[in-house]
Amino acid sequence: MAREEQTKKSKQELEARAWELAESIGICMFVTWDGDRQSARPIDATVDQDEGAFYFLTDVDAEKVDQVEAYPVATLAFSDTGSMRFVTFRGTADVSNDREKIKEIWTQTSKAWWDSADDPAIRLVTFVPDQAELWDSPGKIVSGVLMLAAAVTGAKPKIGDHAKISV
């Protein structure tokens, strides 16, 4: 159920918008836990709303593999500061050696890290969200004007949609 703070959109509209923002932004920060501290690093996520999951490739020796295996709860944070649009997903990550899925999401960009999708060091991280939170503004200029007007009038600005939803 949507916990709407600044929106008149339905849960279905908010959920669709959260996935749409993630796909259009593409690069996100993947936040994991090592039992003591959080770690965040940028990743190029493959967004698959139909499967209700995000996928990305990593190396078998990457620190995040050990972190996900020990503590699977993680966060993805997508940010488009130019448009003032943000979405985070909280959920569970899993690491596998699913060679078919690795080949399916392989891109030319992947060649920056590995020679081919057949590299035995590649692992697949699958992230399945259970909650999303989005901040979807009408853009930097309009948001700035609304914040300035609010500062002058003393009213709280209503800048686009902000909501937490279960996905």
What's the topology of domain 3-166?
Pnp Oxidase; Chain A (2.30.110)
Domain spans of the chain, in order of start: 3-166
User: Looking at residue 1, what is its pLDDT?
Assistant: 34
SS3 119: coil
User: Looking at residue 46, what is its pLDDT?
Assistant: 96
Choice between 13 and 152, residue whose per-residue pLDDT is larger: 13
SS3 29: strand
Does residue 147 surpass a pLDDT of 90?
no
Closest among 142, 13, 165 to 85, alpha carbons compared: 142
